[in-house]
Amino acid sequence: MPKKMNIPFGTITITEQSRTLINKILDSNRISSGKYVREFEKKFAAVVGTSEAIALSSGTDADVLACAVLYDYGANRGDEIIVPALSFVATGNAVLQAGFTPVFVDVERNTLNIDPSLIERAITPKTRAIMPVHLMGKPAEMDTINEIAKRHKLVVIEDAAEAHGAVYKNRNIGTIGDMAAYSLYIAHIITTGEGGIVTTNNSEYAEILRSLRSHGRACKCESCVLNTASAHCDKRFKYGDNADIRFVFERIGYSAKMNELEAAIGIGALGIYNDILNKRRDNLYYLMGQFSRFSPYLATIEKESYEEIGPHALPIIIQQGVKFTRNQLVNYMEKNGIDTRSLFSSMPTQCPGFGFLGYRLGEFPNAEYLGENGIHIGIHQDLGRIECDYILNVIDKFIKENR
């Protein structure tokens, strides 16, 4: 066994460009959302391949506001949005925070993603959208999901929190649904420290999102001149002489803006996006390619020929019939310096906060199995082949001692 190493789950790369911009912003005394947020939005949209990107304060807010767009198109509070049972709890929380009811569907154990064959039976007259999650960066089955949505006139909101750089049948994740919500939290491929962003090719959705992130106000231009001193705006009194557009609120909104300092971190990260993506993908695919040695004790996701997985983390699923528990594996890895995270939970049946919805344990067998038997570990850009081999050797030694 090689000398113990320290393998943290995540990292953050703050570039010299970001540091220079941060100092410039601090010297300007203007850190609220402004020109650097706009710059980050344009560059992020260009990377994903959409015409619009709306920067927000968190990935959860990205989900929330994408859902809230539906109110402008006839949705009512309490209407339903279909989501996978297995995800980080933010997915279910966001639907509730937006005033909708999450309707949960079980996942496929081998992909971790929503089972398309179960979606249609969950649709009711109150269903307004489907929110597939590309869990661990593994693309959901978007062709089938979009076909179902089209048949039932539903909106598709991609939860792409972990799917930076993912590709499905030659199309970038983030461009396939009507909207896509990304997290920009520290552990993600592109980060602003905290933060989130919604991508879309629908200019009306983008305008509504800009309103929603700022309390629902009518002032929602892509670039605002009113927030600069002594600037003239022809739209300021469009609602009447005594009605300043900044204080006309067209819809129920949120306070969910990104600030300039966060945008500066993101701009720097986008400048080295391909380097980060390629390093993480090399780590992920190398580990996945070696993982068959752990069969039949452990498994991970597989890459299909038509996809590229967004290299967020390596999921590890303990297989049925083994003699060891998840806790034993986790404790062994942690003692050997490898940071781990659980593979989330079945939101409706393993997260007590969702108990009021009335679901019962056993309704989502695959999500529940993964919630009890899954973990994930980091594959970030500060790791290389030496660290990956160390991870494999630690797991190999554990299995030899516990099979």
Q: Does a structural domain hold residue 2?
A: no
The Cα–Cα gap between 161 and 163 comes to 6
Q: Which pLDDT does position 232 carry in this prediction?
A: 60
Beta partners for residue 345, in sequence order: 87
Query: Quick one: which of 310, 256, 323 has its CA closest to 281?
Result: 310
How far lies 195's CA from each of 62, 81, 123, in Å?
9, 23, 32
Structure tokens at 90: 């933010």
218 and 91 together in one domain: yes
205 and 110 together in one domain: yes
Active-site residues, by number, are 188
DSSP state of 214: B
Query: What is this structure's pTM?
Result: 0.94
247 and 294 together in one domain: no
149 and 280 together in one domain: no
pLDDT (tens, 9 = 90+) of the chain, 403 residues, equals 668 999 999 999 999 999 999 999 999 999 988 899 999 999 999 999 999 999 999 999 999 999 999 999 999 999 999 999 999 999 999 999 999 999 999 999 999 999 999 999 999 999 999 999 999 999 999 999 999 999 999 999 999 999 999 999 999 999 999 999 999 999 899 999 999 999 999 999 999 999 999 998 876 556 554 455 556 656 665 566 667 767 777 889 999 999 999 999 999 999 999 999 999 999 999 999 999 999 999 999 999 999 999 999 999 999 999 999 999 999 999 999 999 999 999 999 999 999 999 999 999 999 999 999 999 999 999 999 999 999 999 999 999 999 8
Domain boundaries, position 208: 16-270
Total number of domains in the chain: 2
42 and 107 together in one domain: yes
Q: Does a structural domain hold residue 103?
A: yes
127 and 208 together in one domain: yes
Q: Which pLDDT does position 223 carry in this prediction?
A: 59
Structure tokens at 322: 């083994």
Q: Does a structural domain hold residue 381?
A: yes
For residue 361, what is the enclosing H or E element? none
Half-sphere exposure of 382 (CA within 13 A, CB side): 12
109 and 96 together in one domain: yes
The Cα–Cα gap between 403 and 401 comes to 6
190 and 131 together in one domain: yes
Q: Are 174 and 48 in contact (CB under 8 A)?
A: yes
202 and 307 together in one domain: no
Beta partners for residue 299, in sequence order: 317
Task: State which of 251, 270, 289 marks the end of a domain.
Answer: 270
Task: State which of 255, 270, 285 marks the end of a domain.
Answer: 270
Beta partners for residue 200, in sequence order: 52
Structure tokens at 177: 């649904």
202 and 288 together in one domain: no
Q: Which pLDDT does position 384 carry in this prediction?
A: 97
Q: Does a structural domain hold residue 1?
A: no
Q: Is 401 exposed, middle or buried (0-12, 13-18, 19+ CB in 10 A)?
A: exposed
141 and 247 together in one domain: yes
Give residue 220's Cα distance to chain centre: 25
For residue 222, what is the enclosing H or E element? none
